[in-house]
Amino acid sequence: MKPTLVLVGRPNVGKSTLFNRLTRSRDALVADQPGLTRDRHYGIGRVGERDYLVVDTAGFDPVAKDGIMHEMAQQAEQAIAEADALLFLVDGRVGMTPHDQQIAERLRRADRPVYLVVNKAEGMNRAVAASEFHALGLGDPLAISASHGDGVKELVALVLEPFPQDADEAEETRDKSPRIAIVGRPNVGKSTLVNALLGEERVIAFDMPGTTRDAIAIPFERNGRKYTLIDTAGLRRRGKVFEAVEKFSVIKTLQAIERCNVVVLVLDAAQDISDQDAHIGGFVLDSGRALVVAVNKWDAVDDYRRERIKADISRKLGFLSFARFHYISALKGSGVAVVLKSVDAAFAAAMSDLSTPRLTRTLQVAVAKQAPPRHGVFRPKMRYAHQGGSNPPVVVIHGSALDQVPASYVRFLERSFIEAFKLQGTPLRIQFKTAH
């Protein structure tokens, strides 16, 4: 599983700035999708050698006692409880404050590794900036500058060092059967869908680790095909059925998305699309996973409502149009088989082998149809393409003057490859390699 780093600290110390630096999309094009709303509190870490998740508790005060601040404090508590490591930020220019001491007090009780990070240290002597914070009793302070980037890579390397590269991660990528994560906000019908999927079918082996921190993987077979369900709902078995027992966790949802090949995003047809639905959709897009959307509780809504939810989906979730949408009733079991069919198709698309000659030919056809726009005096030249990865498929395009290809043209290329190779249900990424 990918480690989760949680940023804590009083307001204004630079948590959001560090978060943005750590999660800045490697692929600006993802960030550029029209209509995409993303939750600026949760993201995929991009700085450093390996993958991790980052949570910014800016706005969730970890010590507030009442009102809205108390609610935010609860969110901070949940994030602290689910963290693999805590990064406690303080301000090297302001120096130590009573609020810092209060938070330090709270963090000393957390049974998680805590890293004391002295921010805004650019241009300062690091040892001097750090010295007064020794008094917080949280070990050696590490001086960084979130806005300039000084010390950030080193910090990430240090924090991630104790986490072994997942041994089963390599194992999992060799696995030829789809790993599915069923995600969605509370009450949309995730557990009901899981039961509909597993119901009459044989659960190959059911292994419930004692700790809730491990994601649970449930292998099952349907129509002679094997699948593994990655749990996100905190599923517990009660007699023959599974039910969700834990409260909703964004971190667990993100971890499950990162661990699976295909996400099934469940929406509730009886409710309008919420920000939370859109945020989860944004994570899926960011992760590059294949996707199937199940609009659930179709049995419970009339024609008026059906039209309304369809319009709402196309307005708010347009950035997920690469996925297939199914209108189902998990409760009645209708549409469940079709969802699984689309999971198969999306998995096959995400894992396809794309041959270099066909990719290059597709590229040439696309460029002949619509040439990339000139940038200044240079016109980008695209010479050939080959595959650079799967789940999502990555197409690497070689040529010259490719640094400034506009996002709209990249989308045109993406669509061209998706259509040529009939890749249903997976996003596709394009990378440019310019010869110098």
Site for ligand GDP in 258-317 (CB under 6 A): 296-297, 299-300
In the bound state with ligand GDP, the residue whose beta carbon lies nearer, of 197 and 413, is 197
The correct pick among 6, 13, 215, 320 for binding ligand GDP (CB under 6 A) is 13
Find the shortest distance in angstroms from Cβ 147 to ligand GDP: 4
Q: Known binder of ligand: residue 281?
A: no
Residue 242: beta bridge partners?
Answer: 237
Give whichever of 35 and 48 is closer to ligand GDP, judged by the CB atom. 48
Q: Does 244 bind ligand GDP (CB under 6 A)?
A: yes
3-state secondary structure the chain: CCCEEEEECCCCCCHHHHHHHHHCCCCHHHHCCCCCCCCCCEEECCCCCCCCEEEECCCCCCCCCCHHHHHHHHHHHHHHHHCCEEEEEEECCCCCCHHHHHHHHHHHCCCCCEEEEEECCCCCCHHHHHHHHHHHCCCCCEECCCCCCCCHHHHHHHHHCCCCCCHHHHHHHHCCCCEEEEECCCCCCHHHHHHHHHCCCCECCCCCCCCCCCCCEEEEEECCEEEEEECCCCEEEECCEEEECCCCCHHHHHHHHHHCCEEEEEEECCCCCCHHHHHHHHHHHHHCCEEEEEEECHHHCCHHHHHHHHHHHHHHCHHHCCCEEEECECCCCECHHHHHHHHHHHHHHHCCCCCHHHHHHHHHHHHHHCCCCCECCECCEEEEEEEEECCCCEEEEEEECCCCCCHHHHHHHHHHHHHHCCCCCCCCEEEEEECC
Nearer to ligand GDP, 154 or 403 (CB): 154
Q: How far apart are CA 20 and CA 306, in angstroms?
A: 38
**Residue 188, interface with ligand GDP (CB under 6 A)?**
yes
CA-based angle 283:284:289, to the nearest 5? Answer: 140
CB 338, min distance to ligand GDP, A: 14
Q: Whole-number minimum distance, CB 138 to ligand GDP, in Å?
A: 17
Residue 57 in contact with ligand GDP, rule: CB under 6 A: no
> Which residue lies nearer to ligand GDP by CB, 9 or 392?
9
User: Is 39 annotated in some ligand binding site?
Assistant: no
Query: Residue 233 and residue 253: Cα distance in Å, rounded?
Result: 8
Size of the residue set binding ligand GDP (CB under 6 A)? 33
Closest by CA position to 249, among listed 75, 400, 33, 366: 75
Q: Is there binding between residue 6 and ligand GDP (CB under 6 A)?
A: no
- Based on CB atoms, which residue is closest to ligand GDP, 156 or 382? 156
Q: Is residue 159 a contact point for ligand GDP (CB under 6 A)?
A: no
Residue nearer to ligand GDP on the CB measure, 110 or 331: 331
Kindly identify the residues of this chain, within the stretch 202-231, that bind ligand GDP according to CB under 6 A. none
Does residue 146 belong to the site contacting ligand GDP (CB under 6 A)? yes
Q: Provide, rounded to whole angstroms, the least separation between the CB of residue 157 and ligand GDP.
A: 18
* Shortest separation between residue 231's beta carbon and ligand GDP, angstroms: 11
- The reply to whether 44 sits near ligand GDP by the rule CB under 6 A is no
Should residue 17 be labelled a site residue for ligand GDP when binding is judged by CB under 6 A? yes
Sole residue written with tokens 């949940």? 78
- Site mask, ligand GDP, residues 116-145, x = CB under 6 A? ---xx-x----------------------x
Span near ligand GDP by CB under 6 A; candidates 11-19, 98-106, 108-116, 418-426 = 11-19
Q: Looking at beta carbons only, is 11 or 95 nearer to ligand GDP? A: 11
Q: Which residue has the tokens 């996400």?
A: 263
Examine residue 335 and tell whether it contacts ligand GDP (CB under 6 A): no
280, 265 in Cβ contact below 8 A?
Answer: yes
39 in contact with ligand GDP (CB under 6 A): no
Q: Is 110 annotated as a binding residue?
A: no
Q: CB-wise, 27 or 132, nearer to ligand GDP?
A: 132
Query: Does residue 14 touch ligand GDP according to CB under 6 A?
Result: yes
Q: Whose Cβ is closer to ligand GDP: residue 189's or residue 281's?
A: 189
Strand order across the beta sheet in which 53-56 lies: 42-44, 53-56, 4-8, 85-91, 114-119, 142-143
Q: Where does this chain bind ligand GDP (CB under 6 A)?
A: 9, 11-17, 58, 119-120, 122, 145-148, 184, 186-192, 233, 244, 296-297, 299-300, 329-331
Binding-site residues sit at 9-16, 56-60, 119-122, 184-191, 231-235, 296-299
Binding-site residues for GTP sit at 9-16, 56-60, 119-122, 184-191, 231-235, 296-299
